[in-house]
C-alpha cells in the first residue's frame, strides 16, 4: 500500500511576474515537482523578461513557455501558500481566504539594474542562485515556520 501525499499548491507572487516569480516557479517545477505544484503571478504583470528566460536556460531550467499572469487569473485555485517575493507584492497582495498561508521572502529585482552587461548578468545569476537555494528548502522550511521553528 502506498501513501500518496497531495502536492502543496504554492503561488510565487511579485510585481510584474517577469523575473523573480518566474524563476521561483521554474525552480520549483524542476526541483520540487514531487511535492509542490508551483504557480507564479504578478500584481501588475508585464510579460516574461527575455533575460530571465536566458539565465534560467543557462542553469538547465526551461521557462520559455511561461506567460506573465495577474494574480486574479488564478483566483479559482486554493493555494496552500502564497509567497511574496518583493515588498510591492506584499503590500498589494490580494486577500486569500481559507487555508492559504502568506509568507514574505523578498529578493532583489535584477530587471531594474542599469549598468554593464557583465554586472547585470552577474546579478541575474546571483538572484537565480538565491531563489534556487530558497526553493531547495521547501516544503520543510514552510512546515518548520508553522511549528514555531521546530522540525517535525
| Dihedral angle sign, alpha carbons of residues 20, 25, 26, 31 | positive
6: part of which helix (H) or strand (E)? none
Rounded percentage of the chain residues whose pLDDT exceeds 70: 91
Break the chain down into helix, strand, coil percent, rounded to 5.
40, 15, 45
pLDDT digits (tens, 9 = 90+) for 9-57: 999 999 999 999 999 999 999 999 999 999 999 999 999 999 999 999 9
- Residue appearing with cell numbers 546579478: 123
Active site residues: 14, 86, 93
Cell triple for 110: 535584477
Give the pLDDT band of residue 88 (cuts 50, 70, 90): confident
Q: Which has more confidence, 20 or 141?
A: 20
- Residue pair 29/58 in contact (Cβ under 8 Å)? The answer is no
Q: Which domains does the chain have, with CATH numbers?
A: 8-146 (3.40.50.2300)
Amino acid at each position: 500500500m502506498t501513501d500518496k501525499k497531495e502536492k502543496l499548491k504554492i503561488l510565487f507572487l511579485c510585481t510584474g511576474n517577469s523575473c523573480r516569480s518566474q524563476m521561483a516557479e521554474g525552480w520549483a517545477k524542476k526541483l520540487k515537482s514531487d511535492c509542490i505544484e508551483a504557480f507564479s503571478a504578478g500584481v501588475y504583470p508585464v510579460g516574461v523578461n527575455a533575460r530571465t528566460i536566458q539565465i534560467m536556460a543557462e542553469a538547465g531550467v526551461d521557462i520559455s513557455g511561461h506567460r506573465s499572469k495577474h494574480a486574479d487569473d488564478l483566483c479559482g485555485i486554493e493555494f496552500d501558500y502564497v509567497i511574496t517575493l518583493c515588498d510591492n507584492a506584499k503590500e498589494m497582495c490580494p486577500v486569500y481566504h481559507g487555508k492559504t498561508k502568506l509568507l514574505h521572502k523578498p529578493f532583489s529585482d535584477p530587471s531594474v539594474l542599469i549598468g554593464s552587461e557583465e554586472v547585470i548578468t552577474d546579478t541575474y545569476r546571483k538572484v537565480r542562485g538565491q531563489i534556487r537555494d530558497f526553493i531547495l528548502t521547501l516544503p520543510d522550511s514552510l512546515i518548520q515556520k508553522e511549528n514555531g521553528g521546530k522540525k517535525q
